[in-house]
Amino acid sequence: MEPTDAQLWAAGLAFVLPPIMAFVIQPRWSGPLKGIFTLLVAAGDGLGTAYFNHAFDHKGVVTCMLLAAVTIGAAYHLLWKPSGIAPSIEQATSTNGGADGPPLTRI
């Protein structure tokens, strides 16, 4: 089964979302709060891409949302976090300068 346009757009958008999300996420946020925020962003990605690609039915929306959630997590852990890009953005945009966040690790 080939992916639909909506699924491809959901995955493509989800791949570039982690550094954008890092502008909102604060280093002091707990893991569950970051997870909930990620799921909300993935839901928005899935809803939007399904709607704009005329795949706004139950299967299309759920598939796009799940694909977005998996892609955001994979992209963050495989590219954006190891490169230090997303954590640097979180630290730089922290409302308290990242003083109470974890130290950045550079590779």
30: its two tokens? 């707990």
Is 98 domain-assigned? no
Question: What does the pLDDT look like over 34-50, one tens digit per residue?
Answer: 999 999 999 999 999 99
Answer yes or no: is pLDDT of 89 > 80.
Answer: yes
Phi-psi region of 101 (alpha: psi -120 to 50; beta: other; left: phi over 0): beta
Note the pLDDT of residue 62: 96
Q: Give 14-25 as a DSSP string.
A: HHHHHHHHTTT-
Q: How many domains does the chain have?
A: 1
- The model's pTM is 0.85
Give the residue numbers spanning the domain of 41: 5-92
Is 102 domain-assigned? no
Is 66 domain-assigned? yes
What is the Cα–Cα distance from 74 to 16, expressed in whole angstroms? 11
Rounded to whole angstroms, what are the CA distances from 82 to 15, 46, 47, 72, 104? 15, 26, 29, 14, 10
Is 101 domain-assigned? no
What is the Cα–Cα distance from 49 to 37, expressed in whole angstroms? 18
